[in-house]
Structure 1
Amino acid sequence: MYCPSFLGITPRRAYTHFAAMSPKVLKPRRGKAPPVEFSQPEYYFEDGLRKVRPYTQTYLAHAKQRWVSRTVPEVFASEMPRRCTENMIIEAMKRGDILVNDAVVSPDYILKGGESLCSLNCHRHEPPIPDTPIHVLEQTKDYVVFDKPHGITVHPNELNFHNTALEILRRDHDIPTYMHAINRLDAVTSGVVIFANVADPTVRERFQPPNVDSAAGSDSLVQKEYVCRVVGEFPIDPIVVREPILQSAGKVRVDSTGKPSETRFVRKWYDPASNTSLVSCYLTTGRQHQIRLHVAHLQHPIVNDRLYNPDYMKDWAPMNSSLTVNGETRFYPADIPPEKQPYMPYYLNPETPCHKCKEELEGSNTPNPSNMKIWLRAIRYQGPDWKFEVDTPDWADPRIIE
């Protein structure tokens, strides 16, 4: 991969434009940054999964105010305690893999305001995702609409870059780099997702029309319909939930200090044999985990939701590397040392064995694609002059039982 100079920084190797960790990777602003060429990922397919060969990664960041007057090892270890230790960063600095203002400095160097940090050669693995084709519903020069399968993240995050819907579509369907997500779904949720050229005001306002009712949220002219299968006998009459949702410190929960949220629920059927109900969900707002939180608030959590269904969580936790404590999902348990954390960018010595490389070689700890989903699907998105729909899922049939 090649990277030109960027805001005065010329790293020795390429960087990615997504926020994969804290310190965050720099993002281009106002479209003025020079283009970046990315090498093609090395995908391979086995056990029903799409996988990416491990690779090295470089990250960039500007020093935050709270980092000033501290050493680089102190900053990294305090900001990313589950990803590195001070000793790991000291050794990386001695190797020349961590730069300040694009120069090698001593581990005792004290950071100043406005300085840049460049972290080279981070050894990186990405979690596998289900090998499910992404079905494109409609594609033009201004937008692409697709049916996102369960288990695939919409856009790059701290865990995945190449194994995301955005990058897969760029590779397999040649969608332009100027397209970005209009709506987002949780990785475990499937359904309609729209990417569009949001830099064009006409396109942006078509899919994100101006709000006509400030109390209803910014998407008041966009109709969003989901379907989910929940535990128990859901109320037969339509019900509207307006519980506020608060996102803070990596947690999402119903909280009176949160943002206004509104979901209308309509029961489609109740099956006494499985003690489950199929429910249509109509969103007025679009908060993170809104449907999942609101049905759980009604004591009818989604059947296989390992975050908000306590009964399902008990069965799932021993088999999964993620833990749920007081509503917080911890994909990287704090009691595991950084060099053993799952799917992290590692600040390793090149001679240090990587446990993920060993696991992948041995085929151990391979996830089951069927466990990468919940019974929640976005089946319709509709605006003033557009409408996109997908089919109902197989689990909408009451005869389907996990």
Structure 2
Amino acid sequence: MEDFNLNNQNMLINVLHNWNGLTLEQLFRERWKAPKKLVHEWRMSKEVKLNGHPVTWSTILQQGDMLSIPIMDTAENAAVQATNLEIPILYEDDWLLVANKPAGMDTHPSQPGDSHSLINGVAYHLQQTGQICMIKHIHRLDQDTTGAVLFAKNRLVGSMLDRMLEEREIKRTYLALVEGILHTREGEIKEKIGRDRHHATRRRVSPTGQTAVTHYRVLNRDQKRNLTLISCTLESGRTHQIRVHFSHLHHPLAGDTLYGGKRIFKRQALHARKIEFIHPISEENMIIEAPFMDKPEIFDANL
């Protein structure tokens, strides 16, 4: 992604072949589907430039042109306290990054004053690398789930990734160890999920809940320990979805005591292994894998 860089708080973008013939207006509104408020700000500021010069929004783009977009959102990161948590960064460019979340850590602060969440660690990384930009998580993982979490570095890409997630254009693949032996090679769980009235943090399968679909595939069966290693993808992103669905099938995740699993491990055996999406700006196919971090290992011996 060497074509993208910051210059005086403006983002420089080489116009792609795929954008040939589009007007500046069409790029923002139709292809990027940028927020109307943001487009209005940029139009009024007259700071959007092509090849270093202000242009009208009817200007037609050609491959090789250099587009300059103002960032204008650096203040939004001021509320995120930077904390050195040694967060592994799996991928990064000027627009977004993917971090590998450890177990026992929230994705974002759960209460005022909390400064030991993943986003605090990512903010520290940005600070140490001299990056003055906002940071926004696009999705979350449970406190004791490890793996890949996607972040945006500005409002434009934040809104684009939010839409992509909503329209299921971001694919996340999870690995889980469930109790018992699953005999079917693959399957689909379509059970609605709602809150559990009797437990503040737990969810349950409920006919009045939100639609939730989990696809799974068996990777390995550990007969000796009576565990099955599975790969999962979601059509929805409900709280605790994988945990609730497999508990409902009487195959709770190993270590997931909240949903009936035995304390085989110190946490539920769930890892966000891979994230795949088309980069919203470069339009490259992104496939980013998250290594395991557990010590002692939970998954490695089973792969």
TM-score range (shorter-chain normalised) is 0.5 to 0.7
**Residue in structure 1 matched with residue 151 of structure 2 by the alignment:** 195
The superposition leaves residues 135-180 of structure 1 with CA deviations (integer Å, 9 ceiling, x where unpaired) of 1012223212111111111111127621111112212442655211
Q: Given the superposition, is the C-alpha separation of residues 224 and 160 from structure 1 closer, same or farther in structure 2, using an over 3 Å criterion?
A: farther
Partner of residue 287 from structure 1, selected from 238, 248, 272: 238
2:77, 2:135 within 8 Å by CA — same for their partners in 1?
no
Q: Deviation of residue 309 (structure 1)?
A: 2.0
**Residue in structure 2 matched with residue 386 of structure 1 by the alignment:** 286
Q: Given the superposition, is the C-alpha separation of residues 247 and 136 from structure 1 closer, same or farther in structure 2, using an over 3 Å criterion?
A: same
Question: Partner amino acid for 2:171?
Answer: Q
Structure 2: 5+ residue stretches without partners: 1-72, 279-284
SS of equivalent to 1:184: coil
**Residue in structure 1 matched with residue 110 of structure 2 by the alignment:** 157
**Residue in structure 1 matched with residue 175 of structure 2 by the alignment:** 227
The superposition leaves residues 217-258 of structure 1 with CA deviations (integer Å, 9 ceiling, x where unpaired) of x24222111000110101332110010111366442211111
Question: Partner amino acid for 2:145?
Answer: T
Q: Deviation of residue 399 (structure 1)?
A: 6.4
How far apart in 2 are the matches of 1:169 and 1:33? 16
SS of equivalent to 2:259: coil
The superposition leaves residues 13-35 of structure 1 with CA deviations (integer Å, 9 ceiling, x where unpaired) of xxxxxxxxxxxxxxxxxx79998
**Residue in structure 2 matched with residue 179 of structure 1 by the alignment:** 135
Pairing 1:135–2:82 present = no
**Residue in structure 2 matched with residue 102 of structure 1 by the alignment:** none
Alignment: residue pair count = 217
How far apart in 2 are the matches of 1:268 and 1:203? 34
2:74, 2:132 within 8 Å by CA — same for their partners in 1?
no
1:170, 1:176 within 8 Å by CA — same for their partners in 2?
no
**Residue in structure 2 matched with residue 265 of structure 1 by the alignment:** 216
CA RMSD of aligned residues (A): 3.2
Pairing 1:395–2:303 present = no
Q: Deviation of residue 381 (structure 1)?
A: 1.1
2:74, 2:134 within 8 Å by CA — same for their partners in 1?
no
Q: Given the superposition, is the C-alpha separation of residues 263 and 145 from structure 1 closer, same or farther in structure 2, using an over 3 Å criterion?
A: same
The superposition leaves residues 259-287 of structure 1 with CA deviations (integer Å, 9 ceiling, x where unpaired) of 11001111111111111110111111111
Q: Given the superposition, is the C-alpha separation of residues 36 and 391 from structure 1 closer, same or farther in structure 2, using an over 3 Å criterion?
A: closer
SS of equivalent to 1:134: coil
What fraction of aligned residue pairs are identical, expressed as a percent?
24
Q: Deviation of residue 391 (structure 1)?
A: 2.9
The superposition leaves residues 98-143 of structure 1 with CA deviations (integer Å, 9 ceiling, x where unpaired) of xxxxxxxxxxxxxxxxxxxxxxxxxxxxxxxxx7x31101222321
SS of equivalent to 2:231: strand
How far apart in 1 are the matches of 2:159 and 2:194? 26
Pairing 1:204–2:98 present = no
1:170, 1:177 within 8 Å by CA — same for their partners in 2?
no
1:296, 1:308 within 8 Å by CA — same for their partners in 2?
yes
Q: Given the superposition, is the C-alpha separation of residues 185 and 38 from structure 1 closer, same or farther in structure 2, using an over 3 Å criterion?
A: closer
Greater displacement, 382-391 / 237-246: 382-391
SS of equivalent to 2:114: coil
Pairing 1:241–2:189 present = yes
Question: Partner amino acid for 1:184?
Answer: R
1:271, 1:398 within 8 Å by CA — same for their partners in 2?
no
Q: Given the superposition, is the C-alpha separation of residues 282 and 36 from structure 1 closer, same or farther in structure 2, using an over 3 Å criterion?
A: closer
The superposition leaves residues 323-374 of structure 1 with CA deviations (integer Å, 9 ceiling, x where unpaired) of xxxxxxxxxxxxxxxxxxxxxxxxxxxxxxxxxxxxxxxxxxxxxxx83x32
How far apart in 2 are the matches of 1:244 and 1:163? 33
Q: Deviation of residue 196 (structure 1)?
A: 0.3
The superposition leaves residues 367-402 of structure 1 with CA deviations (integer Å, 9 ceiling, x where unpaired) of xxx83x3210001111133221123564224569xx
Question: Partner amino acid for 1:376?
Answer: L
Question: Partner amino acid for 1:157?
Answer: S
1:44-63 aligned at under 5 Å gives the runs none
Partner of residue 258 from structure 2, selected from 307, 311, 336: 307
Question: Partner amino acid for 1:240?
Answer: E
Question: Partner amino acid for 1:196?
Answer: A
2:193, 2:205 within 8 Å by CA — same for their partners in 1?
yes
Question: Partner amino acid for 1:395?
Answer: I
How far apart in 2 are the matches of 1:390 and 1:38? 24
Q: Given the superposition, is the C-alpha separation of residues 274 and 35 from structure 1 closer, same or farther in structure 2, using an over 3 Å criterion?
A: closer
